[in-house]
């Protein structure tokens, strides 16, 4: 049986029972459609109202776990979610509003400069600097994918930065906590402790989250196309995620 066969066979999740659950939600590709440029993802009234209603109904047991910066998460979700793990877990805002973050790696400025130099060859190449990481997006310049990957691997080897392959993006990040580490941290405190964790995400960077919730007795839900995954269930896309969450209210 192929990987595709296995992933297609993943069932849809059963209806969500809010009283039992702690929700951990990726943003891009899960709550919001992926855009050609990161800045093109904007607030949406349906999404904002949904996370607001879920947070209230679950007594705060909802966290967004994203590769975005904290400021970007707040912009897109209109500051409706307090508990946020940003930059793949390097920044975490606790349920009480306190924020902690890792110290930036010394190799980031040089890595960003090399990404910017590479991006000069095509206007479709976009460099996104996040303070604790730097990303090179090539969704609008896919012919440069292989070269972008080689460059990112070379810089990671030279600097010690952690390389994360994403959906049409190569990201070099400060070594440190992952999305899975953030999930475990949230589960160790109120209001998340003692509840069954559910992680919903679409990208390879979400696999740490899937593994963390499964280890804690919960489940991962993959969003989007078939791929090898640690998730137990699957939803087809963003609209299906929103529909599934709304059905629980």
Active centre residues (catalytic): 26
Torsion angle defined by CA atoms of residues 221, 126, 181 and 159, in that order, rounded to the nearest 10 degrees: 140
- C-alpha of 163 from chain center: 15
Instruction: Give whole-number Cα distances, 135 to 10, 171, 222, in Å.
Output: 31, 4, 23
The full length of the chain comes to 249
User: Is residue 49 classed as helix, strand or coil in its secondary structure?
Assistant: helix
Angle between helices 108-119 and 145-159 (to 10 degrees): 160
Q: Which helix (H) or strand (E) holds 195?
A: none
51 three-class SS: helix
Strand partners, 235: 223
Block residue for tokens 């776990």 = 65
Strands 169-173, 196-201: parallel, antiparallel or unpaired by DSSP?
A: unpaired
Residue located via tokens 């980031």: 108
**How do strand 84-86 and strand 162-166 relate by DSSP bridges?**
unpaired
């Amino acid at each position: 049986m192929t990987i595709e066969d296995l992933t297609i066979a993943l069932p849809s999740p059963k209806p969500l029972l809010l009283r039992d659950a702690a929700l951990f939600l990726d943003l891009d590709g899960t709550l919001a459609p992926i855009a050609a440029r990161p800045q093109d993802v904007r607030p949406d009234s349906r999404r904002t109202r949904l996370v607001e209603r879920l947070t209230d109904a679950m007594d705060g047991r909802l966290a967004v776990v994203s590769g975005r910066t904290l400021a970007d998460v707040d912009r897109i979700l209109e500051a409706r979610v307090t508990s946020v793990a940003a930059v793949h877990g390097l920044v975490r805002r606790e349920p009480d509003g306190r924020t902690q973050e890792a110290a930036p790696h010394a190799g980031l400025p040089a890595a960003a400069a090399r990404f910017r130099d590479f991006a000069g060859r095509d206007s479709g190449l976009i460099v996104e600097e996040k303070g604790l990481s730097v990303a090179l997006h090539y969704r609008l310049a896919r012919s440069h994918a292989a070269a972008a990957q080689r460059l990112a691997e070379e810089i990671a080897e030279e600097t010690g930065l952690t390389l994360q392959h994403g959906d049409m993006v190569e990201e070099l990040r400060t070594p440190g906590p992952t999305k899975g580490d953030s999930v475990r941290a949230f589960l160790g405190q109120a209001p998340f402790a003692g509840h069954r964790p559910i992680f919903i995400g679409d990208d390879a960077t979400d696999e740490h989250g899937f593994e963390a919730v499964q280890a804690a007795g919960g489940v991962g839900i993959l969003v989007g196309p078939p791929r090898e995954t640690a998730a137990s269930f699957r939803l087809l896309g963003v609209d299906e995620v929103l529909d599934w969450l709304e059905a629980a209210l």
